[in-house]
Amino acid sequence: MQKPSGGAKDTHPPVVVSSSPNQGATNVNTSRIEIHFDEFFKLKNFQNELLISPPLDETPLISQKGKSLFIELKEELNPNSTYTFNFGKGIADYHEGNILKDYSLVFSTGNELDSLSLSGQLYSCPLATLPEEVIIGIYQKDSLLRDSTIYQQKPDYFTLAKEKGAFQIKHIRTGTFELIAFEDLNANYQYDGATEQIAFYDSLITISDSSEFELWLFQEKTELKLLESKANENGRIHWAYNQTIDSVNFNSDSEIKFLHTIKQDSLLVWPLIYPTDSFYICSEVATRLDSVLVKTDSLHKQKLNLSSNNQFLKESASFKIQSDAPILAIDTSRIHLISDSIPIDYSVRYTDFELIFDFIHNENQTFHLILSEGAVLSTYENYNDSINLSAYSKDESALAALKINLLLKTDDYFIEILKEEKVIDRIETGEELIFKELLPSKYQLRLTLDSNNDGKWTAGDYFENSQAEKVIYYTEELKLRANWELEIDFNPID
């Protein structure tokens, strides 16, 4: 004795029985769209899933009754236009939640359906991953004038990029168009400037039956702005900007000496000699000037922080220790390097923000660097707390290597190997195409086409019609094994 099974599990989504207007209908003049299904259904985030191309200015009113869906339009449709209502993943059956995928209702307000289409591939640079919501749109234009159209108007036709960047726009009328892709963070179907990423084709397009295009998505460089400035930590003056800083000039009293460092979007300055009360210091970044009034009594003593990013030491590599403030002097009597409880001879030198230790290290050794309190002296009489930093070396047989056969006819590039999106090593143009002494692990490989030869990736500019430098990732994750040299062919064109 047992309960009836109820039959096989329902794995089928709702099926469209009929619609008004009909699929592919022409000369449509309606303010109400009806779609009838073969079973009860539910709507899932439907307002966001429903994509209408060309887009409407007013959001339609959505309702359902029984097995029918109703879309009430709040505006008249454009004459002689082909409309596509794409329902995304917004419709599922009521009980099991099986989603109706890839359903679109297409009709025309004119005598025929527009039949042209375009397709292509969207890439991201410098990161490999595309944002979730990227719109690929076209705007009908007679000339390639980079104006405010994409900021103020919705595309004439659009689609969403698929997970790996492929896209296709169907049912397009004849004409010349501007092709744009942009990250639509606020779902307004318009590009909102550097807060969103953008890609654009560098000429007007004329669509044919087999039009295919390649677009590269990037973040435009924003207008330089100062976010914060203060002078109160570790005897330090701090400027924080809204973008990465390349270089800086300072202006201040000629008697005031100082050291500085740049950390991405932050500018950090430490006075070495300054008056007893207060003084001004001015920074010049690009064309921007910013000044700070520094009151000497606002500066506080704070212990110096030391850290290391290179725990694994390659053959003959130095052990480098970074400081969060300038290094003015060191006391070697307070510094000890040991391995297996045995003292190791070393030589040490320092730059403004780094200690560099050189010593003989054999294979498979672990080293402990002990810096007692006061071993490193900084500005404002600051010094370090006691700290113990470790490093290790490996046997050659425990390491891996990667050799690259690059199939590229240009010298304007650099190659980086990454682990968990962090750059591990880099090869410049003209260097041997091999990464040596790598820890066995999984890595990514990317090549940057450095067209301006400045040694870094450069963003594009929409109004100047300049493209971002392309960043091409090797298509597969690289699994490097111990005692093994992996050799790969890398063809960026493919």
Q: Which tokens is 472 given?
A: 């091409």
CATH class of residue range 116-217: mainly beta
Ranges assigned E (strand) in 176-225: 176-183, 198-200, 205-206, 211-217
Mean pLDDT of all residues belonging to the chain: 89
When pLDDT is averaged across residues 419-428 and rounded to a whole number, the result is: 93
Please report, as a single letter, which amino acid is at residue 313.
Answer: L
Q: 308-358: per-residue pLDDT in tens?
A: 988 999 988 999 999 988 999 999 999 999 998 899 999 999 999 999 999
> Do 116-217 and 226-298 come out as alike in CATH topology?
yes
306-393 under CATH 3.10.450.50, yes or no? no
C-alpha 429/C-alpha 417 separation (Å) is: 15
As beta bridge partners, residue 484 has 400
Could you give the 3-state DSSP secondary structure of residue 151? helix
How many CA atoms does the CB half-sphere of 478 hold within 13 Å?
27
Per-residue pLDDT at 441: 96
16-108 under CATH 2.60.40.1220, yes or no? yes
Contact in structure between 191 and 219 (CB atoms under 8 Å): no
Asked if residue 87 has pLDDT above 60, the reply is yes
Asked if residue 370 has pLDDT above 80, the reply is yes
Q: pTM to 2 decimals? A: 0.80
Q: Note the residue count of the chain.
A: 494
Contact in structure between 411 and 453 (CB atoms under 8 Å): no
> What is the DSSP secondary structure assignment for residue 299, as one 8-state letter?
-
Per-residue pLDDT at 54: 87
- H/E element, 152: helix 149-152
Asked if residue 250 has pLDDT above 90, the reply is no
> What is the DSSP secondary structure assignment for residue 312, as one 8-state letter?
B
Per-residue pLDDT at 94: 87
For 89-98, 332-341, 419-428, which range has the lowest pLDDT when averaged over its residues?
Answer: 89-98
CATH class of residue range 226-298: mainly beta
Domain spans, the chain: 16-108, 116-217, 226-298, 306-393, 398-490
For 127-131, 168-172, 299-303, 436-440, which range has the lowest pLDDT when averaged over its residues?
Answer: 299-303
pLDDT band at 452 (very low <50, low <70, confident <90, very high): very high
> What is the DSSP secondary structure assignment for residue 455, as one 8-state letter?
S
In percent, how much of the chain has pLDDT > 90? 56
For 85-94, 104-113, 286-295, 354-363, which range has the lowest pLDDT when averaged over its residues?
Answer: 286-295
C-alpha 132/C-alpha 223 separation (Å) is: 25
As beta bridge partners, residue 288 has 285
pLDDT band at 232 (very low <50, low <70, confident <90, very high): low
Residues 6+ away with beta carbon under 8 Å from 348:
330, 332, 335, 355, 356, 357, 358
Asked if residue 120 has pLDDT above 90, the reply is yes
- What does CATH list as the number for 398-490? 2.60.40.10
